[in-house]
Structure 1
Amino acid sequence: MTAAPPETRSSGDPRSGGTAAWEPIVGAIGPKVRDLRQQLGLSLQQLAQRSGVSAAAIHKVERGDMVPTITTLLKLASALERPIGHFVEGADAAPVAAHVPADARPAVRSEIEGVDLDGISGPPERFRAAGAVATVAAGAGGRARPRPGEELVLVLEGTLDFEVAGERYTLRDGDSLHYPTDRPHSWSNSGSAPSRAIWMSVPEA
């Protein structure tokens, strides 16, 4: 595609047909709201209760389907503990990385009894990899259906037993295991105490 001559590129004049200077700033509001909500470990419903803004409206703001009014933005800023200027700074000021403080790790839903997960990764809308600190009770375990991707596990405390495509591994403090998830795999805590591990999952691109 041929680049437009300099004189025809947007200068902020709506008659130019280009992108106005304020559009990137407005477009960054939704991602900033979403990132802060997730950093604080809040669901849409929880933020709605805090702010007095409906969950449906917040969802539209985060997706960029709705530009919030000043009143709505003030309510969200207060609930997210940020000055309103945080949301209307230049688009370049939006964080590139996702910071998850240790005391604000969001709880991740676990379908396996005896497993608690605290999220450590950024929002799934921006990142492919997902990670959590897993606390696995003694006797707990699971078997996963093969699916494209990879997993990486680092044991922090205790032991975990894995079977990947018929191969058996026992991981203890400091041990790690990296394996493709497109092969049959299972794991369990056969010890007498809970185990803690960092569990990373990367789906196929």
Structure 2
Amino acid sequence: MTLQQVADAAEISVGYLSLIERNQTKLPIGVLKKISSAMGIHIGWFFQVDDGPSHEREVVVRSNNRRKLSFMGIGIEEELLSPNLSGPLEMLLSTIEPGADSGDYSHDGVEAGYVMSGVLDLWVSGQHYRLEQGDSFTFKSTETHRCGNPGNTPTKVIWVITPPHY
């Protein structure tokens, strides 16, 4: 596909897509989802792959072999804690840098999370929640949602999403 074809299908400008391609702009999660859909690939394709031993791949994820995805310019890194995305759920560890914000997005399914450290601002259908270490949450992923870190230190959140959307 050409840049123009991908941009048109993702409903973004070709200039913006070019900046994304060269890592010169922010890449919100919702935009990455649009690009992956436009290209006909699962968003999980963008995760870096460093698989462990073949006999473990369907059951175990070693901490040094997690698939990682960084959202350029917005300060969020996702680590896939699930061995793969072919099962009924997805488990992620998000590290959200101070001041980072995911931007609004939605998708099929249900999400739940647990704040391991830091402070998390969570918006679900326009309602704001401030969560701290030890707090947890759940919501329908079809509701417009976003998260951010209003604190001064990185926030770590474990997410469980069903069905997998990456």
Please classify the TM superposition score into its range, dividing by the shorter chain length: 0.5 to 0.7
**Cα 1:113–1:81, aligned 2, differ >3 Å: closer, same or farther?**
same
Counterpart of 1:114 in structure 2 is: 75
Q: Give the structure with higher Rg (CA).
A: 1
Higher strand share: 2
Separation in structure 2 between the aligned mates of residue 96 and residue 116 of structure 1, nearest angstrom: 22
Q: How many residues are paired up?
A: 118
* Displacement of 1:118: 1.6
* Displacement of 1:157: 0.5
Higher helix share: 1
Is the counterpart of residue 103 in structure 1 residue 111 in structure 2?
no
Aligned mate of 1:127, from 81, 87, 90: 87
Runs (4+) of structure 1 exceeding 6 A deviation are none
TM-score (norm. length: structure 2): 0.60
TM-score (norm. length: structure 1): 0.50
The CA RMSD measured in Å over matched residues stands at 2.9
Structure 1: where are the runs of 5+ without partners? 1-40, 44-79, 87-94
**Cα 1:108–1:129, aligned 2, differ >3 Å: closer, same or farther?**
farther
Task: Describe how 1:52-63 pairs up with structure 2 within 5 A.
Answer: none
Encode CA deviations 1:130-162: one digit per residue, 9 max, x unaligned.
Answer: 122111000001223232211111111100011
Structure 2: where are the runs of 5+ without partners? 1-48
Match of 1:144, SS state, is coil
**Cα 1:81–1:142, aligned 2, differ >3 Å: closer, same or farther?**
closer
Encode CA deviations 1:74-99: one digit per residue, 9 max, x unaligned.
Answer: xxxxxx767xxx7xxxxxxxx79511
Identity %: 24
Counterpart of 1:182 in structure 2 is: 142
Bigger relative contact order, structure 1 or 2, given CA contacts below 8 A and separation 6+?
2
**Cα 1:167–1:140, aligned 2, differ >3 Å: closer, same or farther?**
same
